[in-house]
Chains A and B, each alone.
Chain A
Amino acid sequence: EVQLVETGGGLVQPGRSLKLSCVASGFTFNNYWMSWTRQAPGKGLEWVASITNSGGSTYYPDSVKGRFTISRDNAQNTLYLQMNSLRSEDTATYYCTREGLWVSSFDYWGQGVMVTVSS
């Protein structure tokens, strides 16, 4: 059974940093591209970052480029999201998502972790 379990969320002040982790199980982690997607309270979905299966390439929208860094440790089956210079608009539930092997839709989602940016 595929499982994605996120940790590391919480309350953080504007301008500070936070690092999210996602432990994957139930599939061969190093075969799959992985992503982070977020959802502000009561709002829609926003893609945040993607990383290739090897970790050699990463992709971001302009809203987080230069502030967020996605990375992975294939030996530990773990995906990370380092978030720096956090802003109030980064407040959201962050989901770890797996991209399909042959198609880039998100075929599995974690339960999500809440990040609140507030003073």
Chain B
Amino acid sequence: DAGVIQSPRHEVTEMGQEVTLRCKPISGHNSLFWYRQTMMRGLELLIYFNNNVPIDDSGMPEDRFSAKMPNASFSTLKIQPSEPRDSAVYFCASRGMGEKLFFGSGTQLSVL
């Protein structure tokens, strides 16, 4: 298995632009998590899905952030409009029936 696949690997955009981050979980995994990591705040859980349904989005910072999981093999995290304070590394992770959480390589987002 190729593991959790995230794209793009790096994203540089200007303030006010829409940003879409993509994630393909490991096949057969039924839980998917989006995290954000910054030096100041560490690794923060934004939202997680179970069987494609959002379970807890209390970590989503504000209405500019939205996440979808239209099917078991794909999820997106969208920021519209983006702001410089959104600059961070965004990780996607998935989990199957076991207890291990598998992370992708992350998307390094820079909002200028």
Q: Do A and B come from one complex?
A: no
What is B's interface to A at a CB cutoff of 8 Å?
none
